[in-house]
Structure 1
Amino acid sequence: MAGNDTHLIVSFFLVGIPGLENFHCWFGIPVCLLFALTLLGNCIIIATVKLEPSLHQPMYFFLCILATNDMCLTCSISPKMLGIFWFDAHWIDFDACVTQMFFIHTLCIMESAILVAMAFDRFVAICIPLHYASILTTPMVIKIGLAGLSRAILMTMPCPFLVKRLLYNTKFVIHHAYCEHMAVVKMASGNIQVNRIYGIFIALSVTTFDLGLIITSYIKILQAVFRLSSQNARSKALGTCVAHVCTILAFYTPALFTFLTHRFGKNVPPSIHIIFAILYLLVSPAVNPLVYGAKTKQIRDRVVSLFCSPKQKF
């Protein structure tokens, strides 16, 4: 188990779901289904937007960015998780663990940034519709996407270095299904206060800042909507926001539960915490295409025509 590297331990043992090891084969079924649904649903969303000229709008470009991010996030954890649940492949190399941790947290921060961008898109479309085309141009959408990705990378970049500076020489069993930052840090023998503080700072700063922007956008949106004289116009304006609101709830609700129980829920069984941590990363990417497919008429109609009219050419 030892090497010449500073951390000494060269691999970790991922338990999976502590206390429920006998049921791992059954947990693998929903994980596999969610993985497959995420890949299929998001590929359909991206292909639909690409092939339908009427969907070449900022709102759907952001949706494609979200779909790509969701697939990357799911691919970063599902294969290894299925290996644990179905093939008892519990061991993971130290560097592979740190790499997985980096991608998971980077993509989660990126997901939050995309939700902010989509809220801004709805704000501009509803509150200042006459300037929508001039504000949210394709180059601006690209800049917003790159800004979100840059922020995510820069905020997560210190984590691998902070983890690698620690000494791991006795504990190597991670009571988790994937390499989550604090779960890995707790294996260290030295002082982990810096890691704890940095982890809390990132989680709180991203959540409060992004949620603050989203809430502010929707307050402005509601104010603009209720100023409309027509009930039909109000319903139509709010209808364009329903899918986005569902996506926000699907992402932030389990995220907040996971964050709070991981740090303050000492009485919460570890198995419950791990299950919610898994749901946090797997459910939202799988649900998003279904939500947007059901709530967005243009996407729904195009997908229906794709499967119901096989002779139709794009």
Structure 2
Amino acid sequence: MPLLTADAKGVFPIAPTPFLADGSVDNASIDSMMDFYATCSTGLTVLGQLGEAPKLDHAESLSIAERVIKRAGNLPVIVGVSAPGFASMRALTRDVMDLGAAGVMIAPPNTLRTDDQIVNYYRQAVEAIGADVPFVLQDYPLTFSVQMTPGVIRRIVNDLPSCVMLKHEDWPGLEKISTLRKFEQEGMRRISILCGNNGLFLDYEMQRGADGANTGYCFPDMLADVVNLSQAGKWDEAHDLFDAHLPLLRYEQQPGAGLAVRKYIMMRRGIIACDAQRRPAAPLSEKARAEVDNLLRRLAKRDPRAAAAIR
């Protein structure tokens, strides 16, 4: 599989990890999920924050990565390798790269406070995993409590050639995208900018210069349509489609509940067999399920893809 480059565009869904009701990994659902992603994605990320990676042991992580990579065909697969220490990060990185991963994603630990601390952390991470491994810089202050200014991102990009992608999840963050693209005009090396945060601002992020989405919304096929319409300059069509999904996007974005919503809808769509999370988990209440069902019924009036989830 080719390595990840700064030219990456499109939609790289953050894949959930399917589990059976007893908490074991559901390999059959990994296969069906990958077959679905192949219809709408240009790449994939596994073992991300909402892939329940901290609930997996090393052997399980490797097994999942191997199955996904084999099933992905020509789709580049990014593997989340964030870890408390560099020894485990190095081990997982080298193992998944040997399996054929296209690159890895690294989130900052929440102990970082200054720009110098952030830059030094990523320098040390690259020393640990190897400068030959392309990596994605994950910028998600809502979860990690680390504030990365455009200036500190520029330092990382200029100092570390193996940084080829920014997973942009800051909000408000539209000005950050514009600033980074301006830096490129002024001489900063270009990197791919794919946006997370459940795609909550994707339509305008594309207009600011993003290259696509790197998030786990339960309708990644919609995200792909928005990206494609935006890249074709069909802005009104992109906004109209995005607006139809916005109530469900907002509901799924709730911290602490979003993964349960996402897995429930993916189960309803037939992408995975079971919406179970590995414990500790926060399953949806019957009231919440009813609210999601209502959102799906409303969405089906504007996007027929939602109709299949309410039959």
Q: TM-score range by the shorter chain?
A: under 0.3
The structure showing larger relative contact order (alpha-carbon pairs under 8 Å, at least 6 residues apart) is 1
Structure with greater Cα Rg: 1
Higher strand share: 2
After TM superposition, the score normalised by the length of structure 1 is: 0.24
After TM superposition, the score normalised by the length of structure 2 is: 0.24
